[in-house]
Every structure is written in C-alpha cells, then in structure tokens.
Chain A
C-alpha cells in the first residue's frame, strides 16, 4: 500500500512539476508570477479535447499526436500573444502591475471558456484502464504514461536549456537581462521563447491531467495551478530543477498525508505544512539561490 500511495503521489507530482516549470521559467526571466499559466493548462485540456473528436476517424497514434500537437502549439501561441498584449507594455512598470494584469488575463480566459461550456466535458479515454502487475507493485497504464511523458519532457527541457545555444541565451537573460541585451541577445525573442516553452509544458500537463481524471471544466486550472505555483516556490522559484523537485515533493507529501494521517482530508494541511517548514528553514526554497536581491 505504501508503494501504491507513493506512485499516486509521484504521478500527481509529475503533473505539478510540469506546470511549475512554466511558473518558474517566466519568473526566472521576468521576475513576475504569471497567474494566467493555470488557464493555459485549462485551455490545453480543452484544445486537446476538441482534437480528440478525430478519434475513430484517424488511427490512434495519429490522434494522440494530433491532440498533443494542437494543444501545445495553440497554448504556446496563446501564451506568446498574452505576453505581447498584457505583459510587454508593462515591462518597465512597477512589479505589481504585470501581476495584476496576469490575474486579469486569467479571469478573462476562464470566463470565455465558461460562456462556451459551463458543465463538465468528458475527456475521451485514449488508453485502456488496465493495471500493469510488476510483481512488487501494480501501476495503472495511465500513471505509467504520465510518469514517462513528464520525465521525457523534463529531460528534453534540461537538454534544451543546458546544451543548446538558445538555452544558453535564456540562461544569460535570466542571470542579467540588460547585460544579455548588451551582448546582442534578442531579449524580447528570448522572453517569447520562455513563454512558449512554459505553455507547451503546461498544455502537456493539461492533457495528462485530463487523461488521468477523465473530465474537464472551465475552472479546472485553479487548484493544480495553485499547487504548481506552491511547488515552484518550494523548490526555489526561478530554478528549473527546483520546480521539478518541488512538484514531486508536494505530490508525494499530499498522497502520504492522505494515506497516513488519521483523516484523509488533512492532506493539504500536511503538504502546505511542509511548505511552511521549508520556507522557514530555507526562505529561498530548496534549490533556490542564496544570493539576495539581484542588483
């Protein structure tokens, strides 16, 4: 039972981590919390659900590719558009202004979807609900897919950020935006790329989440968004491995909290208790940099 609970937590944590990456990457480069990110997650799920209408018409692998592809591209484009419309004009404004703008975008997106569909929509089951027996533990196919996909995406992101020239430029921007600009790095394009990648990961998380829970709704992004934001802070906001670690820790502590506390409903108290404890001991998060304010 302990292993099963750990798996439940890891699956949830992997999804949180994917969403947390979007928060942390944007924060790393712009020092703002993009609260509209949870709506990107939701839009990803809805676009994926729309693309799933081709299910049965096209062969299954093609449908899956279409669902992921369309959701990722649509969300990436949407995030870049949001950045251009709602954040770029505020680049030199006080730090609270883009934050409020982000909350506004989040409300607008949620209400657009609400006006279209105010009830639960079923997300088609693309994978059969089978359980795989690995001797010691049983894992459901969908959990396995979520774990493998998110590991692959995170691995891909790590390679992209650390091993490519664009990744190097991104890191330069997050270290010091002005210096990077002086070195000839097109900072605005880098910011767009950051939003795009964050949204692609968010869309992927939205689809995995919908596959896991089987239904989607206009307000589905709120709770996972909150949790992912928490995970990013827990790991040290602005730090990419930190977001991954934070997501997994949050998911696992939630699952273990539900499993072993006298009442399952205390799980959030337990998970957020851990957050408070970590932040008291390490105010900059688990893997956050120790340097104070950047000058």
Chain B
C-alpha cells in the first residue's frame, strides 16, 4: 500500500514538473568557472558580473524571453572541467557556454562542446591552442570557440620585448607552473626572447599548490639571471616573488596577467615592490568604456572587490545576448552570428577573426609601486 502511494506521488510529481515546463520559456546559458579552489576569487568575480548583466537584461525586457544562468564549478581542474562539460552538453536546452577560465580546462572541454555544436566563449583563457585547434583538419565540428581576451603569444612576446629592450636584461630565468596557461605563456616568452638575441639561463617548472619554492629559487639564482619571468597564477606568483626576494635576488621580476590580482600583493607583501605584471587588454579602471560598468558593479555588489576579469565576464555575456537578440536561441545561428559580430561594449570594439580570437590585442603593463599596481609607460 505504501509503495503504491509513493508510486502515485512520483507519477503526480512527474506530470506536474513537465507541466511546469510549459510555463514561460527561458533561454538557458551555462557558465563553467573555478568557483572553489585556489583561484576561486576569479571565478566568483566573473560569475557576479555575468549574473549582473543577466539581471539587467531581464529587468529591461531587452530579450523577448528571460535569460537564466546555470553555474558549474570546474575547480580549475582539467578533469573536473571535462566532466562539467559533459554535464552541460547533456542538457539540450543550453544555447551557449561561457567558460572556462584556465586554458588547461578550456582546451579539453572545448572538444566536448564542439561535438555538441554548442557555442563556447571563454572570458579569460589565453593559450593560443584553444582556438588554433579548430583549424586542424581533424576538427570536423563547427568552429564553436571564441574568446574575448587576447592570447599568450601576444602577451609572452610583449613581456620578452619589454625585458630585452626596456629593462635591457639579456640573461633571464623563466619559471612556469606546468599548466597549459603558465607553461604556454612562458614558452611564448622564451621564443620571442631568444629571437631577440637574449639568453634563457634556466627554464623550470613548479608544482601548483606548492608553498615552498626556495630550493628552486636558490638554484635558479645560481645561474645568475638578470631578471626572472614567471608564467603562472597569483596563487603561486605571490609566494614566489616573496621567496625570490628572500634569497637576496635583486633583478627584475616580470609576470603574466593572472598575477594582476590584489591577492598577489597580499601574499607577496613588500616583496611585490617593483614587480612588473602584463595584463591582457586593459583593466576596468583604465577603460573609459568600462566606467559605467564599474559603477553599476559597485552598486550591485557593495561588499565585493572588483576582480581584474569581471569586465570580461560582463562583455562575454553581453556579446552573447546581442547574438540572442538578433538570431534567437539557436546554437548554429549564434556561432554564425558571432563570426561577423562587431560589438562595442565595456572592452571597446570586439570582432573575432577566423579562429574566434578577438582583434583587440592590447596589452597593458603594470609596475607595483607602494603596494599597488600602477600602469607603467614604456619610454
């Protein structure tokens, strides 16, 4: 008797739930970001900005249907990212995915999305391979991958030119974090630095999550480099520069954009002073087009720090909604539309090349002065 009751209840619920679906249709967008783990603050910031854009769009009634965002956590772990991707493609209702953050997560999961013909826009992954892979003859799926940030070959080369030509360092050590992102940008740096005629005295990897790099740094210092370039994220970069100064190293420290974060300054303390950090594009404070966004963000999230990628998140969802407005919730049409889009938003003008990379290839250089990132003008 009891079992019969449960069965009827379950059947009733099933009917009700399918009945509910007939209500107002919503457009579903997935976001896949590191929401926990060492760099959770980046993922949480991006999530906030995406949600803010969706709230604004829903309130204004810009799209005829409401937009709904479902957040997935990849923990910046490539394995987790692929499993998240599989969960996302299992739901045919998603029209697009925004993510992932880490290149190491974006590259393997992009293939999962491609097989489902699901448009993917990354707000931050910068390894060139992510979009490059679509040009290979084995890529039999639609070219579904886009990104709003520029890439590491641009950033690595920028860093190499800066170290060689501006800092006049001819002998440099490179440390990277062995991820697709960190090692990728370090190799781009190395390529350009050697092309300039400089010498890479050491090229070493460190383990993400490790807290002690003193032995590695003492060893790197032993080859007498004039500067050290780091390819990796703030979670290691802050501690790395701190311990680098502990070893008594006096040369310059240059790092890539995932170190442009208040946590880098917090973990490094006074050792951050004088460090150079390159950033993809421009941070929101320096963009006239982002001023309005920054104000709304601060009003919406008064207790949260504006993270350095949040405007990328906002731009990504805005581009996507522009596509939805024009072609509706159809995966193939969205991909086609993004190919030809010319969007002006918080990042300025965004257009994608045939790979899906943005044509906006600005890099901003920062120097840490008095415990803060200050834009640094090359002479």
A118 and B215 contacting across the interface, CB-CB below 8 Å = no
B242 and A214 contacting across the interface, CB-CB below 8 Å = yes
- The residue on B at minimum CB distance from A1 is B222
Q: Say which residue of A131, A255, A264 sits within 8 Å of B204 (CB atoms).
A: A264
A265 and B238 contacting across the interface, CB-CB below 8 Å = no
Query: Which residues in window 1-53 of A have CB below 8 A to B?
Result: 1, 4-5, 8-9, 12
Whether A5 contacts B215 in the complex (CB less than 8 A), given A119-B40, A138-B248, comes out as yes
A88 within 8 A of B: no
Q: How far is the CB of A257 from chain B (nearest CB, A)?
A: 8
A121 and B205 contacting across the interface, CB-CB below 8 Å = no
B219 within 8 A of A: yes
CA–CA, A265 and B218, complex, Å: 14
B270 within 8 A of A: yes
B246 and A258 contacting across the interface, CB-CB below 8 Å = no
Chain A window 199-227, contacts with chain B (Cβ cutoff 8 Å), 1 for yes, 0 for no: 00000000000000111010010010000
B248 and A255 contacting across the interface, CB-CB below 8 Å = no
Whether A140 contacts B246 in the complex (CB less than 8 A), given A8-B215, A121-B266, comes out as yes
Whether A129 contacts B219 in the complex (CB less than 8 A), given A120-B267, A264-B204, comes out as no
B268 and A214 contacting across the interface, CB-CB below 8 Å = yes
Chain B facing A: main interface SS:
helix
- The residue on A at minimum CB distance from B40 is A118
Chain A residues near B268 (CB-CB < 8 A): 214
A263 within 8 A of B: yes
Using a Cβ–Cβ cut-off of 8 Å, how many residues does chain A contribute to the interface with B?
Answer: 34
Q: Say which residue of B41, B178, B267 sits within 8 Å of A214 (CB atoms).
A: B267
Q: Say which residue of A119, A120, A259 sits within 8 Å of B215 (CB atoms).
A: A259
A223 and B209 contacting across the interface, CB-CB below 8 Å = yes
B218 and A119 contacting across the interface, CB-CB below 8 Å = no
23 A–B contacts from the bound complex (CB under 8 Å):
A4-B247, A9-B215, A118-B41, A119-B40, A119-B41, A119-B263, A120-B263, A120-B266, A122-B266, A129-B246, A131-B248, A138-B248, A213-B211, A214-B267, A215-B239, A215-B266, A223-B211, A258-B216, A264-B205, A264-B206, A265-B204, A265-B206, A265-B207
B36 within 8 A of A: yes
Chain B residues near A118 (CB-CB < 8 A): 36, 40-41
A267 within 8 A of B: yes
Q: How far is the CB of B74 from chain A (nearest CB, A)?
A: 16
Chain B residues near A220 (CB-CB < 8 A): 211
CA–CA, A265 and B245, complex, Å: 21
Query: Which residues in window 223-243 of B have CB below 8 A to A?
Result: 235, 238-239, 242-243
Q: How far is the CB of B218 from chain A (nearest CB, A)?
A: 5
CA–CA, A233 and B330, complex, Å: 60
CA–CA, A155 and B269, complex, Å: 33
A83 within 8 A of B: no
Q: How far is the CB of B252 from chain A (nearest CB, A)?
A: 18
- The residue on B at minimum CB distance from A9 is B215
Whether A255 contacts B209 in the complex (CB less than 8 A), given A118-B36, A129-B246, comes out as no
CA–CA, A182 and B36, complex, Å: 52
A96 within 8 A of B: no
Binding site for B on A (CB under 8 A): 1, 4-5, 8-9, 12, 118-122, 125, 129, 131, 138, 140, 142, 213-215, 217, 220, 223, 254-259, 263-265, 267-268
Q: How far is the CB of A258 from chain B (nearest CB, A)?
A: 3
- The residue on B at minimum CB distance from A4 is B218
Q: How far is the CB of A200 from chain B (nearest CB, A)?
A: 23
Q: How far is the CB of B230 from chain A (nearest CB, A)?
A: 14
Chain B residues near A268 (CB-CB < 8 A): 207
B215 and A264 contacting across the interface, CB-CB below 8 Å = yes
Query: Which residues in window 22-52 of B have CB below 8 A to A?
Result: 36, 38, 40-41
Q: How far is the CB of B135 from chain A (nearest CB, A)?
A: 33
CA–CA, A257 and B243, complex, Å: 18
CA–CA, A256 and B215, complex, Å: 8
CA–CA, A176 and B65, complex, Å: 74
CA–CA, A139 and B207, complex, Å: 25
B246 and A264 contacting across the interface, CB-CB below 8 Å = no
- The residue on A at minimum CB distance from B238 is A215
B212 within 8 A of A: yes
Chain A residues near B247 (CB-CB < 8 A): 4
Chain B residues near A215 (CB-CB < 8 A): 238-239, 266-267
B266 and A259 contacting across the interface, CB-CB below 8 Å = no
- The residue on B at minimum CB distance from A12 is B212
CA–CA, A125 and B371, complex, Å: 14
Q: Say which residue of A9, A12, A120, A142 sits within 8 Å of B238 (CB atoms).
A: A120
